Chain A
Amino acid sequence: MKLWYSFTKELILSSKSWYFYIELGMAIILLLVLLFVVPEDFDSKSEEYMYLDVPQVVKDRYRDNLKDEDLDEESQMVEVEADKRTFQAEFYETDESEIYILDNMEALNAFSSGERVPTVHVRVNEENQIVHTYYLQGYETQKLKNLLLVFHNRKAGYDVIEDYSDNIPVRSLYQNIEPLSDRENVIPVFLTFNGSLMSLFIIAAYIFLDKSEGIIKAYAVTASSVWHYLLSKIGVIIVTSIATSLIITIPIMGLQPNYFAMLLFIITSGFFAASLGLYITSFYKDIIQAFGVLYIVIVIMIMPNISYFTPSWDPDWIKIIPSYVMLQSFKEIISINGNIAYVLVASLGFAVLGLDIFILANHRFKKTLTL
């Protein structure tokens, strides 16, 4: 009952503080960013500019090939600008590229020199061979240059490449689950950092404020336990995390996420993060003294983001950082046919770990009430 009184009191105090509204406001801003700034899918197609300086029959052959690969199997005549001049171009869009066939060498030079983009001049030499001249910009990797060399010297390397590529094992990152759109893919990052991990820093701010005002001492000389006080703080932070997470998720994902798993995971991961925050704060008198450790924790927790957005870089050591598990869990929660067993195991892990750290933090607080 005392725990409930403490919790409701903390909830009332939070609702009277600016910080509570800043958190809700921030969640709304993140939602607006996702809706209006982050595209549904990032455009990752490369742009290619070509000038076909070849006989008409070869040109037609090129065009036919491009049309076969084009999404609507049609070309479009478009105007393109380069070096403050306008040129006519034929436009083809394939799964991987946007290809512009330019009219003349002048247009190609304008793109190469003025716009600093790689261009290709295709011509026929004296021996009636088709020659591709690439105007690179200097920032291309040696791998790309080698690839182009091999690609245009098929006799020398094509068989080798074909054999090699046929034997490469390909593992799909998505098994039964539907891949998320680029916009949806950003949501786990926001949920991890604005929801679960912010608990770590918010509780530090709350505790240091109470320490400076001597509130903890006053609480410690009542018949209520210090852990009631600490847990009620955590409870309020988790409630805030749930509210901000739902603000971000519902408008974008609708009913797709598994909300039961989401609530469970926010509670357990938030409990873990807040307990860790409590434990850190128990060693310091004020937030300035604690800032060094908090900064290190921030940097470590940010690192799994690299792996999240670059799945090919996934070393074992990064998997033990809690934010890695949080990112992956939130991804599973919002995906269709996501791996809920993974989420449940992660929730159990965070609950057990959080409880251990909470017990340690409570022990530390009892010893350092007069700090």
Chain B
Amino acid sequence: MIKVKNLYHSYSNDENYAVDDVSFEISKGEIFGFLGPSGAGKSTTQNILTGLLQLQKGEVEVAGYDVKHIKNKMFNKIGMSFEQSNVYNKMSGLENLEFYGKLFDVDTRNPMELIKMVGLDGKENIKAGKYSKGMKHRLTFARSMINNPELWFLDEPTTGLDPAIASNIKDIIKEENNKGVTIFLTTHNMYIADELCDRVAFIVDGKIRLIDSPKELKLKYGEKLVEVEYLREGKPIKESYSTVVEEEKNQLIKVIKENNIQTMHTKEATLEEIFIKVTGRGLV
């Protein structure tokens, strides 16, 4: 669905690249997470893919279209949810969706259905300018689905939302993905990436440092340990056992059999820990 080969971009038109030799491919139906701290080159890459920035150097194919010679038809296939809400403040939520629906050449979704989906029903006739930040964000998110996109660009889709609504948004993303929609997710939130993405790319200083599935990354970079907490003679004991070394595996079995286990979990590395380990950089 997306093919990027040796992509470069410089805002100063010199060799000071904001995106530096980036290559990746995304298959149909995949959720691809583009992860990195602020200024890493995430938005620049996404802006090039969506035609908001002109392609300077490299090859980019999006939804079957060459981005070098971008055509309006391409936008019938893609949806874009911006991090910063950008709706018409003087129009109601419903009017916003109705208007954008008219700008596509394909069958569009029922605006009211989308309003309900993001929990704005009952507020559809209020001017968007009177919406809270979170409500505007949900309206921007809903708008990006108006044309039933095959390829969906999501830029920080849950930022600024309360946990219940963020969970609702994640469910919508999963649901759309189950229908076959390919998703390009740009975020610095590792938890949402971990939960949703089939594969993630770590980008720092314009370069991709690693691309893999969260599961593989955890296996590769996580410590293969089980942490057990149990009571021995009334006192709490906390110990770790390897799930690889045979002797420690037997000790773990013995502890489980002979003691009253309070807590026990595998010690998986989080994506954030892996990111820091791989890139040597934090995510903020």
Interface of B is mostly: loop
Q: What B residues does A366 contact at CB under 8 A?
A: 54
Interchain nearest-CB distance for A7 vs B (Å): 12
* B86 & A222 in contact (Cβ 8 Å cutoff): no
Cross-chain contact of A214 among B47, B84, B143 (Cβ < 8 A): B84
Q: Are A224 and B54 in contact (CB under 8 A)?
A: no
CB atoms of B99 and A223 under 8 A apart:
no
Could you tell me the distance in whole angstroms from the C-beta of A325 to the nearest C-beta in chain B?
A: 36
- Shortest Cβ gap from A225 to chain B (Å): 6
B102 within 8 Å of A by Cβ? yes
Q: Are A17 and B90 in contact (CB under 8 A)?
A: yes
B66 interface contact, C-beta 8 A: no
- In the assembled complex, the Cα of A218 lies from the Cα of B84 at a distance in Å of 10
Q: Tell which of A13, A217, A224, A370 touches B88, judged by Cβ atoms closer than 8 Å.
A: A13
Specify which chain B residues have a CB less than 8 angstroms from the CB of A218 in the assembled complex: 80, 82, 86-87, 100, 140, 143
Which A residues are CB-close (under 8 A) to B50? Answer: 221
Chain A window 29-51, contacts with chain B (Cβ cutoff 8 Å), 1 for yes, 0 for no: 00000000000000000000000
Judged by a CB distance under 8 angstroms, whether B175 is at the interface is no
A16's contact among B76, B78, B90, by CB below 8 Å, is which? Answer: B90
Which residues of the other chain, A, contact B143 by a CB distance below 8 angstroms?
Answer: 218
Q: Is the CB of B99 within 8 A of A217?
A: no
Contacting pair B52 A5 (CB below 8 A): no
Contact B104 A222 (CB under 8 A): yes
- The 0/1 profile, CB within 8 Å of B marked 1, for residues 2-28 of chain A is 100110010011001100000000000
A-B contact pairs, 12 of them (CB 8 A): A2-B102, A6-B103, A9-B88, A13-B88, A16-B90, A213-B89, A220-B51, A220-B52, A221-B50, A223-B106, A366-B54, A370-B52
Interface of A toward B, CB cutoff 8 Å: 1-2, 5-6, 9, 12-13, 16-17, 213-215, 217-225, 366-367, 369-370
Given contacts A221-B79, A223-B72, 15 further A-B contacts (CB under 8 A): A2-B103, A9-B88, A12-B91, A17-B90, A213-B86, A217-B52, A218-B87, A219-B103, A221-B75, A221-B80, A222-B100, A222-B147, A223-B104, A223-B106, A225-B72
List the 4 closest pairs (A to B, CB-CB), nearest first. A214-B86, A222-B103, A224-B103, A221-B80
